[in-house]
Structure 1
Amino acid sequence: MMMDDRLQSTDNREMATDDGQRTTDGATIVSDQWSVVVKVFAHFFSYIFHPLFIPLYIYWFLAYVHPTYFSGFSDMLKTRVGFSLLLNAVLFPAITVLLLKGLGFIESIFLRTQKDRIIPYIASMTYFFWTQYMLREQNFVPRILVAFMFGAFIASAMALIANIYYKISMHAIGVGGAIGLCLVIMQQNTMMITFPLSIALLVAGIVCTSRLIISDHSQKEIYTGLFVGLICQFIGAAINL
């Protein structure tokens, strides 16, 4: 009789949620609902700060926020440089991934496996190298933008090498590059970089946390990506500035 009462008491405390999980006094239901919200925001930030979009954000910062690099440029000239960057560093890599998916060379456009990432890395290296070369040949383009794209090229090459051993986070490489650029600007002392650097650090924290929540990346893959993106910007600056 006492055993039956204990079982009944346990059954009263435990309730099954809609997805088949069991919870105690309904506490896990709230946790599950919060997890859904967190995942929605994680997906949102992963898309907004996709590594392909980082060059556009960096260009916008250099051209429209930084006080000196693009000072004296007409709006038309800024638009022309921005469009060249959009075409070569964003659209071409994106179209390449879509073509690879359409032709059956990769399983998913989200590049979830190391095998899927091989050709896109090589393609990105090619496009980024061409972009920095094109910008370098236009003498009016600030060298800081050339240095950033050269750093992106080196980061793609290092990511390709790392991909042999594990699936390094491309998102972390992108936000790591943004932090690296802010530190390069701080070293040049061309503007008060405290607020932009704080924003870059905040975005990096949000994006890396988002990737840990909704992807199968390990902490090692995230931290390595941040380090690669950061160091490659220092290398790009050392060579080009």
Structure 2
Amino acid sequence: MNNAQAAIPLSFHPALRTAAKVVSYLFHPLFVPVYVAWFFVFVLRLFPDLEPFRKGLLLVQFFVSYTLLPLATVLIAKALGFVKTVQLKTQKDRIIPYMASMIFYFWMWYVSRNLGFPKESVMFSLAVFLTTCFGVFFNNYFKVSMHALAMGVVIALLLLLSLRSSLNFGPYLSVALFIAGCVCTARLLNADHNPFEVYAGLFLGALSQVIAFIFVA
């Protein structure tokens, strides 16, 4: 990446930068799938036959596959010197975590499909895997925003579900759009990405969800 493509640091109030970091951590790509799983289980009630304990175990399964294993990969890679920081600030740092996450996310999609999970859950799991594939490919050319990838998936998911359901998804979609705006703004405020990397992430995340919708539905 040349200097023209790099994110240009701007001067913002320290409190604003701190708030941006908090938002980035709260809605980190490793946590977003767990939030979506909670939404599936307790809001949409896609698993009505499961007793509360089994629902909790399901959330643990999502947490292990989407959060714990990828995070452990990053920490191990950092300990072995394969990545410079756990923030994965460079394209090179992202290669190993991306490749490892592809395996974890593919397995999650494969298991959810073969265990007869609801289509909404299978569709989301496939979209997360496809998003990681896009991330691996485009990481060769620019540092696409992982946060924006996650937000693109969520927005497209809610939009597609609203088109095929009689349930009013307006409030959920509004909240998702607000959160996505905050997250993407946070990435720009801290100069973690330039606008192109953020917009590309949103587009690729949404595209992944659309492809998954076509494939599963």
TM-score, normalization: structure 2?
A: 0.92
Match of 2:169 in 1: 193
- CA–CA separation in structure 2 for the residues paired with 1:72 and 1:156: 31
Counterpart position of 2:35: 57
Deviates more, 1:148-157 or 1:74-83: 74-83
Secondary structure of 1:83's partner?
helix
Show the 5 A alignment for 1:82-97: 82-97=59-74
The match for 1:123 among 93, 96, 100 is 100
- Residue 240 of structure 1 is matched in structure 2 by 216
When the two chains are superposed, the root-mean-square deviation of aligned CA atoms in Å is 1.3
Distance 1:76 1:138 in 2: 18
The residue number in structure 1 matching 2:82 is 105
Q: Deviations over 1:171-226 (max 9, x none)?
A: 00011111011012112114210000000000000000000011331100000000
Alignment of 1:116-155 (within 5 A): 116-139=93-116, 141-155=117-131
Q: Is the 8 A contact 1:66 1:191 kept in 2?
A: no
Among candidates 212, 219, 225, match of residue 188 of structure 2: 212
SS at match of 2:22: helix
Q: Indicate yes or no: 2:152 matched with 1:176.
A: yes
**Distance in 1, Cα, partners of 2:61 & 2:73:** 17
Deviations 1:71-125 (A, max 9, x none): 3332122112211111111100000000000000010110000000011111111
- Supply the distance in 2 between the matched residues of 1:81 and 1:188 (Cα, whole angstroms): 25
**Which of 167, 174, 179 is the matching residue for 1:203?**
179
* AA in 2 matched with 1:35: H
Residue 19 of structure 2 corresponds to residue 41 of structure 1:
yes
Matches within 5 A, 1:22-41: 35-41=13-19
Share of identical aligned residues, percent?
A: 37
Q: Output the CA distance in 2 between the equivalents of 1:110 and 1:79.
A: 29
**RCO comparison, higher one (Cα < 8 Å, 6+):** 2
User: 1:226–1:143: structure 2 CA closer, same or farther, 3 Å change rule?
Assistant: same
CA distance in 1, matches of 2:60, 2:111: 13
1:81 matched to 2:58? The reply is: yes
Q: How many residues align?
A: 207
Q: Deviations over 1:126-179 (max 9, x none)?
A: 11000111111212x212111101101001011111111100000000111110
Secondary structure, counterpart of 1:168 in structure 2: coil
Q: Distance in 1 between the 2:39 and 2:176 partners?
A: 11
| Counterpart residue identity of residue 112, structure 2 | L
Higher Cα Rg, which structure: 1
**Where do 5+ consecutive residues of structure 1 fail to align?**
1-31
What is the alpha-carbon distance in structure 2 between the residues aligned to residue 40 and residue 107 of structure 1?
A: 22
Alpha-carbon distance between aligned partners in 2 of 1:229 and 1:129, rounded to the nearest angstrom:
16
Note closer, same or farther for the CA distance 1:95–1:190 as it changes in structure 2 (3 Å cut).
Answer: farther
Deviation at 1:37, TM superposition (A): 1.2
